[in-house]
Amino acid sequence: MMVFQMSSRRDDAKWGPHSHCIVCGVAIPENEKYCSKICEAKYNQETERYKRQQKMSYIFIGIMGVLIVLMFLLPMLLPDLFA
């Protein structure tokens, strides 16, 4: 069984220490996250979209929880309405 390593000393000597852009994967200097302002803007846009989607999911779950609680409590609070 062969095991492959992500990087080896030979590769580090050939390419030097580097990392990759978290958006497009292009090789960049070691302490940077993005290769360009375009990738940084794309990442920020996706992060904002994810946060908005997460917030909407929490709101939806909260509304559903309130509706379920009301569904069980309303007949107890207003028995004449459901008799």
36-to-19, 21, 81 alpha-carbon distances in Å: 14, 9, 64
Does 2 score more than 80 pLDDT? no
pLDDT band at 36 (very low <50, low <70, confident <90, very high): very high
Instruction: State how far the alpha carbon of 69 is from the alpha carbons of 33, 81, 82, in Å.
Output: 46, 17, 16
How confident is the model over 49-76, as a mean pLDDT?
95
pLDDT value at residue 12: 58
Does the pLDDT at position 5 exceed 80? no
